[in-house]
A and B are shown apart, each in its own frame.
Chain A
Amino acid sequence: MASENVKTFTDSNFEEETKQGVVLVDFWAEWCGPCRRIAPIVEQLASEYAGRATIGKMNVDENPNVPTSRFHVRGIPTLVVLKNGQHVDTIVGLVPKEDIVNAIERHL
């Protein structure tokens, strides 16, 4: 039940899709239990921030480059915030929704 507001990032579209505005990327994988807990929060945020920030997910299995080479992801769930293409914030592990909201708001 992926919300239509949740963007799907890939190694090939990442650069283009993240170069403007505030972007939240949720690195996840099918086999990651805690990622399933973050998923509904990310979907809520995608609706709540529609038009103000881009919220999307990136599957680390299907995209070997961006998660590990650019962001050095060593565990998931990991969330990163970008502003105009610049990496400005990282959240590692399970956190309350408020923490993610704060990380987005800081850069809006």
Chain B
Amino acid sequence: MTTPHKADREVVIIGSGPAGLTAALYAARANLHPLLVEGLEAGGQLMMTTMVENWPGFRDGIMGPDLMGEMRAQAERFGTEILQGNVTSVDLKHRPFTIMLEGGRRITTTALIIATGASAKWLDIGADRKLSGRGVSTCATCDGYFFRGKPIAVVGGGDSAMEEAIYLTKFASKVTVVHRRDTLRASKIMQDKAFKNPKIEFIWDSEVIDVADLDKGEVTSIRLRNLNTGETSTLPVDGVFIAIGHTPNTSLFKGQIELDQTGYIVTNGGTRTNVPGVFAAGDVQDHIYRQAVTAAGSGCMAAIDAERYLESLPAPEIADAHPSATV
């Protein structure tokens, strides 16, 4: 018999990057039979990378997609059920919490771990999105290949912008970095690498105000404005790679849990959000460290926090835990 208080699941995890999969691993090993909803960008940001050299335990590095494949298999081995697809809405105002999936499926859960991560930012000029996949990209490792022998621009001044610029010199005839300031935010080691690269040039104090050519459906040039003088200029390029940071994937939760001014989930005392029973891990709540290993660490914390939360509840609120539970 189903009472309104009985949830389908004890723990549901949204997101499948290092935070989500580590939370799943720990929750599974704690016999919580977690259900993990993968999301559209399954595997998270590491799926967009090549060699990951700062994941401890791999002295020669490991390919991002391979690392995520291993993490997924490990989480499954201990009994995590993984659902492909996207969450379309959540209700965190009533208990148990409700998760709506693509295709109209509905799941209720006593505890929820949010690990939806962050996605690359766009320029907010409209034309860049319309020409996405037609010369504008936020993923050098995905799309660099198509610009062999062609001039391209990279927008941004941080580590990821330098990494993309350096990577793209393997293909492009010339890489022009466009940055809003006159100094880079990137780490010293990345700056040195970029400055030394003969294929990389810099345009300082400038922002991209337009990307052409929408009519042709391909990139032919970008329009720049110098922020000091107000002068505009045109730079002919075949491709534009945008690396101006990330924005947390929290639109599903707006108005239901506390977010900070930039949209990140606010956590207190570990991974707790302001809604008891809802925990957040990884880049969705971290704008400071944003590393795969810190995301994984906070995923582990979220699973432990969720386990303690479930233990603290009076018995009737906890779901019937049996391994064959289906949704």
Contact = CB atoms under 8 A, between A and B. Distances in A.
A9 to B, nearest CB: 18
A33 B48 contact: yes
Interface in A62-108: 68, 72-76, 78, 92-98
Interface residues of B, number: 32
A99 to B, nearest CB: 10
Given A33-B141, A75-B143, A93 B84 contact: no
B103 to A, nearest CB: 8
Interface residues of A, number: 26
Interface in B65-101: 65, 84-86
A36 interface: yes
B133 A75 contact: yes
A42 interface: no
B143 A74 contact: yes
Contacts of B239: 74
Contact of A37 (B42, B137, B217, B218): B42
B293 interface: no
Contacts of A35: 142
B132 A93 contact: yes
Contacts of A98: 102-103
A36 B47 contact: yes
B218 A76 contact: no
Contact of B133 (A31, A41, A68, A93): A93
Contacts of B145: 29, 31, 60-61
Given A34-B47, A72-B217, A92-B134, 16 more contacts: A31-B50, A31-B145, A32-B141, A33-B43, A33-B46, A36-B65, A37-B42, A37-B43, A72-B134, A74-B134, A74-B146, A74-B218, A75-B134, A75-B137, A75-B142, A93-B133
9 contacts: A31-B141, A32-B142, A33-B48, A34-B48, A74-B137, A74-B147, A74-B219, A75-B139, A95-B40
Interface of A: 29, 31-37, 40-41, 60-61, 68, 72-76, 78, 92-98
